[in-house]
Chains A and B, each alone.
Chain A
Amino acid sequence: MPATTHPTSETASFDVEALRADFPALRQDVYEDTPLAYLDNAATSQKPTPVIERLDGFYREENSNVHRGVHRLSQDATEAYESARESLAHFLNAPDPDQIIFTRGTTEGLNLVSSTFGRMVVEAGDEILLTEMEHHSNIVPWQMLAEQVGASIEVLPVTDRGELRMDLLPEMLTDDTALVAISHVSNTLGTINPMADVIDVAHAEGVPVVVDGAQSAPHMPVDVQALDADFFVFSGHKVFGPTGIGVLYGKREHLEAMPPYQGGGDMIDQVSFDGSTYDGVPHKFEAGTPNIADAIGLGTAVEYLEDLDWEAVQTHEDDVLRCATERVQNVEGTQIVGTAPDKTSVLSFVFDDIHPYDAGTVLDREGVAVRTGHHCTQPLLERYGLPGTIRASFAAYNTHEDVDRLVEGLQKVRRMFG
């Protein structure tokens, strides 16, 4: 690998090589003599050793079912599980750990809210306001709800650069708007939406806001109270945590008013054949044996994240994104998709008429892991008239050398297909 000639972005408080040393999956050859340059972090992040060891340790020494167990292991497991909830509450600055519901991930969080809160507040003739840049998981659950209750979906458009048309927001919030569901950061464009402003404007009209934080939680400190979000959902696997675990934060008054999502064990107070009464929040939303190990692993992941110097991490991530943007732009024939001034971690682009699948296949053989296609945002890609993009997405552990590898890979793509 050629030595990088870029100025180093390492600061006294952030040593990217030390961080990388914590992520064993980054140190591998994906093909012969071809080390991995992992640039698919918007899809999922790699896991640091403390998370891997926490999962291993749980299964070796603490594994037991949680809640109501009188034996020692069950008490340990319950304590670890509930302490992970506390770590998550701290991570989001939630007022109370009870407002943290463990889910399978962002998708389940959104489905939970649409099936419970959505059914409470959205009525026939109402409107649900989404944006043009939403991931399918923040579109389809609302379409299903709209169909069930006879509501309609309204869509706040984006500009050519990939910014929300905030100027249209006030007029799109009509008397019929029952709810706004919006991503904090676009998974395809990297745009950071002005979430506090959106929430202020919506709340001024008395409209609650559900925030899809799948792409923001990994890259910026999130304060759900400062945002005044009604709901905030994200996935564990994108924040260095395990797959199959995620978080739904909700305002207490909403969570208490909402009916349960699924019925079963662990969510009830009393059960008889004449009827059942439910446990309080958060447990009424966690039917059945929860994903104990991964919740605990997620707790470790967010503690790990919080131990990093966020200011330094963000400076580094911004630096890598800026460098990647400039260098990819300089490869003849590329065009960046999503050039909002306020962006994080995602670089989407098209490359002349080279099909993203072709480019992705060649990049893969060069060890560069990117994602190609529509990134589960078909309406957004349609808005830009594109069948798909090539998306490089970054995490704190990515370096200028990863950017070198991407650019060298793209030059090879050009030689083969250009």
Chain B
Amino acid sequence: MPATDTVSDRAQQIVDEFSLFDDWMSRYEYLIELGDDIPLLEEEKKTDENYVHGCQSDVWIETELDETDTALCVQGDSNAKITKGLAALIIRVINEQPPEAVADADFDFLDDIGLHEHLSSQRNNGLKAMIETVQERARET
């Protein structure tokens, strides 16, 4: 079943958590911790289909509908810790949400926590492509 809290509820929660840190280093340390906390994507799920190539770092993304076909379960991984932490934030707001909510989600909350620069295409860390992949899959379901 879809979660009861919305994409924006969860985004706000993240903004609140990050507001507790007043310097960039503790924000990044927290981000890395969040990345370490998400379940590792099993090796067999790191398929070509789930691989998002970034020039700087690599990302894997796995999506499937839950047993009721009403919520999208999202898992992800990256070989860079900062990218993985950001993937964890993105996954946290969209995981187990209805596919249409995932397709419409924006990630402006990253702006509020000073991490939006990592989504620019110039960074080319795979996150932008990861979001495009997830949203495309959400639209197709």
Please list the residues of chain A having a beta carbon within 8 angstroms of any beta carbon in chain B.
Answer: 31, 355-358, 360-362, 365, 372-374, 387-388, 412, 416-417
CA distance A388 to B58 in the complex (A): 12
20 A–B contact pairs at CB < 8 A?
A31-B24, A355-B57, A355-B79, A355-B83, A356-B80, A357-B56, A357-B57, A357-B80, A357-B82, A357-B83, A357-B125, A361-B82, A365-B25, A372-B56, A373-B56, A412-B25, A416-B25, A416-B28, A416-B29, A416-B32
Q: Which of chain B's residues 76-122 have a Cβ closer than 8 Å to chain A?
A: 79-83, 118
B55 near A: Cβ within 8 Å?
yes
- Contact digits for B26-64, partner A, Cβ 8 Å, 1 yes 0 no: 001100100000000000000000000001111000000
B28 and A388 within 8 A (CB): no
Contact of B80 among A31, A358, A374, A412 (CB under 8 A): A358
Contact count A vs B, C-beta below 8 Å: 39
The interface residues of chain A lying within 8 Å CB-to-CB of B57 are 355, 357
Q: Whole-angstrom distance between the alpha carbons of A68 and B57 in the complex?
A: 52
Find the A residue at minimum CB distance from B27.
A365
Q: Please name all residues of chain A whose beta carbon is closer than 8 Å to the beta carbon of B29 when the two chains form the complex.
A: 416
Contact of B24 among A355, A356, A365, A388 (CB under 8 A): A365
CB distance from B114 to the nearest CB of A (A): 10
> What is the interface size of chain B, counting residues whose CB is below 8 A from a CB of the partner?
16
- CB-based contact B79/A417 at 8 Å: no
Interface SS, A side: helix
Q: Are A365 and B80 in touch, CB under 8 angstroms?
A: no
Q: Which residues of B contact A374 (CB under 8 A)?
A: 55
Chain B residue contacts of A360, Cβ below 8 A? 56
For A358, the chain B residues whose CB sits under 8 A away are 80-82
Q: In the complex, A387→B79 CA distance in Å? A: 10
- Interface residue ranges of B3-35 to A (CB < 8 Å): 24-25, 28-29, 32
A377 CA to B107 CA in the complex, in Å? Answer: 33
A contact residues around B28 at 8 Å (CB): 361-362, 365, 416
Q: Which residues of A contact B56 (CB under 8 A)?
A: 356-357, 360, 372-373, 388
CA of A72 to CA of B94, assembled, Å: 65
Most buried by A among B24, B32, B58: B24
Find the B residue at minimum CB distance from A388: B56
Looking at the assembled complex, report how far the CB atom of B76 sits from the nearest CB atom of chain A, in whole angstroms: 15
Q: Across the two chains, which residue of chain B brings its CB closest to A31?
A: B24
Within the complex, the shortest CB–CB distance from A355 to chain B, in Å, comes to 4
Give B85's nearest chain A residue, CB to CB.
A358
